[in-house]
Amino acid sequence: MFAASSQSQHSGKQHNKKGSLSLSGSFRPENLFPGLVIGFLLGFFLDLSGPLKKPNVRRRNLLPGKRGEQCVVSGGGNDLELKMVLVVRQDLKMGQGKIASQCAHAATGMYAELMQSDRFLLKNWEQCGQPKIVCTCKNQQEMIKLMEAAENLGLPTFVVADAGRTQVAAGSRTVLAVGPGPKELVDLVTGRLRLL
């Protein structure tokens, strides 16, 4: 009787050992390197399986005899010139340095959002040299109307809310970024604004 119970305990230990052996057998150190190489190659080829065709980007002169150029992205049979417009509120009476830093916040904020939401648009805009124009609006009400008009056309927007450490009150909306987007659409929203 003692021998029988001892044997059943021994066979139970073998069963547990066998179960854990099959699980640990797949995690052997000698399988680590080949597994990493195969995983890397699979990831590399799956990444390349996406769209390989780069957008057709060409540069053309703005005016005959001038050296300035504009970038045109061909997409689906139509040419798109991309740009961003930064709209600065004039009623806040910000100094030049403050305006420059707020415009930088608007451009980098839009860039960060597009990194998450629309890398294709961002890449095309980068290939065009990231053109930016700075314009002015009268006050916050006009800025909000511009933002709504841009969003209704499907253009990305970003509004800078100041921290209030220097010249303006905390939470003041200082600059609106419209685009990057097709020049024709951006101009529908911002084309009548005065350049800074």
Helix (H) or strand (E) holding 141: helix 140-152
Nearest to 131 by CA among 36, 188, 62, 64: 62
From residue 21, how far is each of 14, 25, 28, 33 by CA, in Å?
A: 10, 6, 11, 21
| Domain 82-195 listed as CATH 3.40.47.10 | no
Domain boundaries, given as residue ranges, for the chain: 2-48, 82-195
Helix, strand or coil, per DSSP, at residue 70: strand
Structure tokens at 67: 């050296």
pTM of structure:
0.64
Contacts of 102 (CB under 8 A, 6+ apart): 88, 94, 160, 162, 174, 175
Highest averaged pLDDT of the listed ranges 19-23, 44-48, 111-115 = 111-115
pLDDT one-digit tens code per residue, 89-120: 999 999 999 999 999 999 999 999 999 999 99
From residue 86, how far is each of 135, 137, 177, 181 by CA, in Å?
A: 6, 10, 5, 12
Contacts of 137 (CB under 8 A, 6+ apart): 87, 88, 89, 90, 143, 146, 176, 193
In this prediction, residue 80 has a pLDDT band, given cuts at 50, 70 and 90, of confident
Q: Which residues pair with 5 in a beta bridge?
A: none
Question: Tell me, what amino acid is at 75?
Answer: G
pLDDT one-digit tens code per residue, 125-144: 999 899 999 999 999 999 99
Query: Rounded CA gap, 114 and 117, in Å?
Result: 5
DSSP 55: P
Question: Tell me, what amino acid is at 102?
Answer: Q
Do the Cβ atoms of 179 and 146 come closer than 8 Å? Answer: no
